[in-house]
A and B are shown apart, each in its own frame.
Chain A
Amino acid sequence: MTEHAAAAPTHRWRRPPSHGATLLRRRKRLLALLAVVGPGLLAGLSDDDPAGITTYSVLGAQFGYQLLWVLLLSTMALVLFHDLGARMGVVTGQGLIGLVRQRYGVRLASLATVVLVTANVGTTAAEFAGVAAGGELFGISRYLTVPVAAVGVSFLVLRGSFHRVEHVLLAVSAVFITYIGAGILAHPDWAAAARGLVVPSMPLTREALLLATATVGTTLAPWGLSFIQSYAVDKKLTENDLRYERVDVVTGSVLTGVIGTFVVVACAATLHARGVDVTDAADAARALEPLAGDLAATLFAVGLIGAAVLAASILPLSTAYSVSEFMGSESALDDRFRDARLFYVTYGLVLVVGAAVVLIPDVPLVPVLVLTQVLNAVLLLPLLVFMAGIARDRDLMGRFTAGRAATVAYVVAIALIAACVVALFALQLWPT
């Protein structure tokens, strides 16, 4: 009693913080938060690329709000594995492919690298196809938009400092806000959207299963996993920064999910409500115009171009890092060409081939994109298994080795994703 009585006045005497001090503290917290935003945000948002926007558009147009919960689960998987990737990079100081070579040997690493490079070239082509489609919505020829985008991306990444590259890419990411605008302008049924987000239900049809699987596959991409790890390594983050990096990863992943949700919502409120069917994101933008107005359609198209440019910037970079890591000549953007030939040649080749596929008249783009999605799906599972194995390796991860609870989470996520991938292949092989 005496102790309490003695302690009480101390509390009463503590002066409440002044308005100025509170503002200063808030400003510092905001600065701290802004300072860490980067790797997670870029790696996450670049997963909302044209292929992703297409999948979300078709999901919303065909099934309304019903399958939004799949997006929620995908976002949780994204948080889980992007956080693991960033942690592996910070703790080991190595990118994903380099670690796979060290932990699993040169054969498995070479296989992963070959598939990753092939899939990344195809995905880069898909991004440039997104640029072309977005430009054509405004009446601009792909023979202008694609080369301009390719040259712009090359110039930005190869000539700019990291500081500048990151700021421009983050500014490009801001274009995703257009999807939130498009979603709001579509006047959705928010109660139905909330129900679809948290109450799992699925029509047992081939289309529903296919779209649910594609949603998982498009949200969690192999190149995003390799990028976030290499990026965390090059940012030279330390173990002390991991909790801040986690804020960044969660922010990026949640924003990725939120943007995907708004795309679904925009299409559900307009296209699904009126029974309009779409096949891709550009189609969705065109279809939105009479239903949600010019502004919504324009926002949707601008978002498509921005998403494509962001992903087209990051994919060749991610590929160049992975190839350099596998070949054993670790390189960075700071290196001169003669010191990092492999890095720069890989970067240039991925960009040029990706853009050329879209520009050459008779190249069958659809089979290329389908093959790319298949390769991404095939590669995703072993990469996740490698990551879970490395996370459990005490020699590599030291005091950051995954515990039992984390391992269970990885295994459950991998099992669910494996089920999706198997379902996807089964549906492709036996369409009826």
Chain B
Amino acid sequence: MLRLTVETGQPVRTLDGRAVGDVLDLSVRVGDDHPAVHRLAIGRRRIEHLVAWSEVATFEHSAVQLAITSTGPPLPADRPTPLEADELLLVRDVLDTQIVDVAGQRVQRVGDVLLARTGNGDLEVVAVDVGIGPVARRLGLRRWAEHRGEQAVDWRDLHLTSERGHRIQLAQPASALHRLDDAELAHLMAALSTEHAADVLATVEPARAAAALQASHREVGTRVALALEDDEAAPVLAELRPEQARHVRRLRSDRTVRRRFQRLRGWRRFRPPRARSGAARRREQAFLSEFDEQGLA
């Protein structure tokens, strides 16, 4: 298993030994469960070249060598070839950013990105380490870090909250949020900021969005329903029960209510109950019946 923070920073040379910069970042194209490294970002202090993985001859900790010579065609500059629409830079968009561990339903911060070699010589992202170990190691406390185990979150079970990561994952049909059931979607919304939760709700089909709203704690459901844009809210409200939809419409049209709501309903996350045990399931049922009685507010 390779670690992103160990692999970046190494010098990159051409086949004939000319130094062209350091590995500053690695890019992946999101879509697969474990996406392969797509390009190497090379430069001195800022990214100067984005080189395709197919141009890399060797990628070892001791040496990174490109399969080109200094007399060959020039390296591609980063400006003319910007990132693809579904391309992420692992250092910039993932390392040290927040993620939501969808399976564990926790908000965590990425301490390192774990990569693995595949049989055909590619490098793929398998997980992120959210433990204290990578933080300690990056601070130079290697011996202490060795005693800390990895706390890995599978790449396919995470939702990125960095601006670019969030946008790209919303657009990917295979990303974690699209595989979630209503209750899990409700958990994800409770963990995200209101804006991001509204983005998630606007991305899934209206019937699922309405079901997720109903599975949410009513504080979270109301907050996210209020944050939807008018054109996003209409199809979702159409899927809610008439009395709930009426209630949300009334809240959305009353600015004073919105202000008062945000004043009184902040801070706490109001996670929906977990439906893992029989007792939890019964509590959830009780909660849902309470919801039916009281509506979203």
Min distance, Cβ A155 to any Cβ of chain B, angstroms: 17
Cβ-based interface call for B144 (8 A): no
- Contact between A35 and B263 (Cβ–Cβ < 8 Å)? yes
Cβ-based interface call for A236 (8 A): yes
Contacts of B163 in A (CB 8 A): 395-396, 398
- Contact between B193 and A101 (Cβ–Cβ < 8 Å)? no
Contacts of A241 in B (CB 8 A): 262
- Contact between A106 and B135 (Cβ–Cβ < 8 Å)? yes
Min distance, Cβ A22 to any Cβ of chain B, angstroms: 16
Min distance, Cβ B232 to any Cβ of chain A, angstroms: 13
- Contact between A36 and B195 (Cβ–Cβ < 8 Å)? no
**Bound state CA distance, A334 and B271, in angstroms?**
9
- A240: nearest chain-B partner, CB-CB: B227
Tell me which residues from 59 to 115 in chain B have a Cβ below 8 Å from any Cβ of chain A.
92, 96-98, 106-111
Contacts of B192 in A (CB 8 A): 93
Contacts of A166 in B (CB 8 A): 267
- Contact between B111 and A328 (Cβ–Cβ < 8 Å)? yes
- Contact between A162 and B255 (Cβ–Cβ < 8 Å)? no
Partner of A238, one of B92, B108, B195, B264: B195
- Contact between B267 and A235 (Cβ–Cβ < 8 Å)? yes
- Contact between B267 and A234 (Cβ–Cβ < 8 Å)? yes
Contacts of B107 in A (CB 8 A): 330
Contacts of B259 in A (CB 8 A): 31-32, 35-36, 244
Contacts of B138 in A (CB 8 A): 106-107
Contacts of A235 in B (CB 8 A): 262, 266-267
- Contact between B164 and A395 (Cβ–Cβ < 8 Å)? yes
Cβ-based interface call for B175 (8 A): no
- Contact between B266 and A328 (Cβ–Cβ < 8 Å)? no
What 1/0 mask marks residues of chain B from 264 to 280 whose CB sits below 8 Å from any chain A CB?
10111111000000000
Cβ-based interface call for A94 (8 A): yes
- Contact between A236 and B108 (Cβ–Cβ < 8 Å)? no
Cβ-based interface call for A60 (8 A): no
Min distance, Cβ A23 to any Cβ of chain B, angstroms: 14
Interface footprint category on B: 35 or more
- A398: nearest chain-B partner, CB-CB: B163
Min distance, Cβ B106 to any Cβ of chain A, angstroms: 8
- Contact between B132 and A327 (Cβ–Cβ < 8 Å)? yes
Partner of A106, one of B96, B255, B268: B96
Partner of B108, one of A110, A231, A330: A330
**Bound state CA distance, A330 and B98, in angstroms?**
9
- Contact between A162 and B108 (Cβ–Cβ < 8 Å)? no
- Contact between A236 and B98 (Cβ–Cβ < 8 Å)? no
- Contact between B260 and A31 (Cβ–Cβ < 8 Å)? yes
- Contact between B256 and A162 (Cβ–Cβ < 8 Å)? no
- Contact between B130 and A328 (Cβ–Cβ < 8 Å)? yes
Min distance, Cβ B24 to any Cβ of chain A, angstroms: 13
Cβ-based interface call for B194 (8 A): yes
Cβ-based interface call for B139 (8 A): yes
- Contact between A329 and B108 (Cβ–Cβ < 8 Å)? yes
Cβ-based interface call for B187 (8 A): no
- Contact between B161 and A395 (Cβ–Cβ < 8 Å)? no
**Bound state CA distance, A319 and B139, in angstroms?**
21
Contacts of B92 in A (CB 8 A): 395
Min distance, Cβ B73 to any Cβ of chain A, angstroms: 31
Cβ-based interface call for A237 (8 A): yes
- Contact between B139 and A236 (Cβ–Cβ < 8 Å)? no
- Contact between B263 and A162 (Cβ–Cβ < 8 Å)? no
- Contact between A94 and B269 (Cβ–Cβ < 8 Å)? no
Cβ-based interface call for B223 (8 A): yes
Cβ-based interface call for A352 (8 A): no
Contacts of B227 in A (CB 8 A): 238, 240
Contacts of A333 in B (CB 8 A): 267-268
Min distance, Cβ B225 to any Cβ of chain A, angstroms: 12
- A39: nearest chain-B partner, CB-CB: B266
Contacts of A31 in B (CB 8 A): 256, 259-260
- Contact between A32 and B268 (Cβ–Cβ < 8 Å)? no
Contacts of B159 in A (CB 8 A): none
Contacts of A107 in B (CB 8 A): 138-139
- Contact between B268 and A237 (Cβ–Cβ < 8 Å)? no
Cβ-based interface call for A38 (8 A): yes
- Contact between B135 and A162 (Cβ–Cβ < 8 Å)? no
**Bound state CA distance, A332 and B108, in angstroms?**
13
Cβ-based interface call for A102 (8 A): yes
Interface centre among B138, B192, B193, B270 (most CB of A within 10 A): B193
- A394: nearest chain-B partner, CB-CB: B163
- Contact between A239 and B195 (Cβ–Cβ < 8 Å)? yes
Contacts of A102 in B (CB 8 A): 96-98, 162
Cβ-based interface call for A279 (8 A): no
A-B contact pairs, 5 of them (CB 8 A): A93-B192, A102-B97, A236-B194, A238-B194, A328-B109
What are the 10 A-B residue pairs with the smallest beta carbon separation, nearest first? A328-B109, A235-B266, A93-B193, A162-B267, A35-B259, A334-B268, A35-B263, A330-B107, A234-B267, A35-B260
New A-B pairs, 12, CB < 8 Å, besides A236-B262, A237-B194, A328-B130: A28-B255, A32-B256, A101-B109, A106-B96, A162-B267, A162-B268, A236-B193, A327-B132, A329-B108, A330-B108, A334-B267, A398-B163
